[in-house]
Amino acid sequence: MIKPRIESPFSDGDATLHWEADTQAFRKEEFHYCYHYYECDETGERFVTPELANLNTAQIYNQYRSKHRFLFPDQIKALREQYELTAARMSLVLDLGANQYRHYEDGEMPSASNANLLRLASDPAAFRRLVDAHQADLRPTEYQKLCSRLDQLSQPIASYGQAAGLPVSTALAEEPNEFTGFATPDFTKFAEMVLFFFQPLRHLGTVKLWKLMFYSDFWHYRLTGKAISGFRYQALPHGPVPRQYEMHIGAMVDEQLLNRVIDTDRIRTDGNGPVIWYAPARPSQTEVFTASEHTVLQEVLQKLGYKKRSEVEDLSHEEQAWQDNEATFDRISYQAYAYDLKALL
């Protein structure tokens, strides 16, 4: 995780994290991004750590992939996993170098031709033609198993995730972009984030919940260049909320992840019926989160989770992300606003 202060290599003191708007050329194109660096408190020397270099590069790569519709590393990994193949076998079918597919999963930027090949392979019918062309290179049982899997993937899938454009496992239905935090919307992670906050916070209302989710997603993007859930947020009167939030919470009730509690002894402030609470049906399965994602969730819980709803709402109203977009209820760009967050500083 990126730290706000570290030991300086240029003195016996510390160095402080800074960032500034910058422009970087990549493959003959220019991209605007937020350049991160440390500055020695005593000498004023600037330097970057490997973590900061990765974050700076990720911002450029994210924009390039989105602009040219290159698959993102998570999508490339999910593509292989949906076909139930190893990286080496995917390289074989796609006529790539022995370890090339693994390099793409790890974040290496493919050439334009290989990027087009990867996107072509995301269509099971097109991938079947590639598999048939390499039948002689595959073991008979391996070929039969793969063909069976491709037949299965060609069948229509009826699920909440597919219907909402929020695939749980495959990363191909939704294009990552600046409004998804360059992550593929993942209903599983979204649901586990909701359960993470509901479990320790008794009678957590959805107004406050959505602010905790917003800060978690945007703060993780600020630190890593990628959101946790990949969900889109928009500015509404009570602050930032996930788009189609009512459908998402309803899906969690339908899937028995949340219990809907109607408090008939209390009336909503708008007078439209009794107060409705949600309670977790089970603990959050935190193993779905990476180490950095779990750290951010814990940080948001400790810094904001135990504040009053009105306090968290007021903090969200001080964010540029809300102020610039609330008049039109517009979507909020992670790249444009994550680095201006105030509440967690």
The 8-class DSSP code of residue 305 comes to: I
More confident of the two residues 77 and 269: 77
Contact 138, 88 (CB under 8 A): no
For the stretch 79-138, pLDDT in tens is 999 999 999 999 999 999 889 999 999 999 999 999 999 999 999 999 999 999 999 999
CA distance 225 to 176: 12
Q: Does residue 281 carry a pLDDT above 90? A: yes
pLDDT for the residue numbered 285: 97
Q: Does residue 52 carry a pLDDT above 70? A: yes
Q: Which two tokens stand for residue 12?
A: 């016996």
End-to-end CA gap in the chain? 15
CA distance 44 to 300: 31
Q: Could you tell me which residues come within 8 angstroms of residue 74 by beta carbon, excluding any fewer than 6 positions away?
A: 171, 176, 183, 184
Fold classification of 5-68 is: Ubiquitin-like (UB roll) (3.10.20)
* For the chain, percent of residues with pLDDT exceeding 70: 92
Residue spans per domain, the chain:
5-68, 73-161, 187-340
Q: Does residue 323 carry a pLDDT above 90? A: yes
Q: How many CB atoms lie within 10 A of CB 71?
A: 23
pLDDT for the residue numbered 161: 43
For the stretch 13-49, pLDDT in tens is 999 999 999 999 999 999 999 999 999 999 999 999 9
Q: Could you tell me which residues come within 8 angstroms of residue 196 by beta carbon, excluding any fewer than 6 positions away?
A: 284, 286, 297, 301
Q: Does residue 288 carry a pLDDT above 80? A: yes
Chain CA centroid to CA 223, Å:
12
Q: Using 50, 70 and 90 to split pLDDT, how confident is the model at 266? A: low
Contact 109, 64 (CB under 8 A): yes
**What is the rounded average pLDDT of the residues 164-178?**
57
Find the largest Cα–Cα distance for the chain. Answer: 71
Q: Using 50, 70 and 90 to split pLDDT, how confident is the model at 164? A: very low
**Residue 18: phi, psi to the nearest 5?**
-135, 165
CA angle 252, 170, 128 (to 5 degrees): 145
Collapsing DSSP states into helix, strand and coil, what is residue 182?
A: coil
The 8-class DSSP code of residue 303 comes to: I
- pTM value? 0.87
CA distance 188 to 273: 31
CA distance 14 to 165: 46
State the average pLDDT for the chain. 91
For the stretch 185-208, pLDDT in tens is 999 999 999 999 999 998 899 999
pLDDT for the residue numbered 203: 81
CA distance 136 to 143: 9
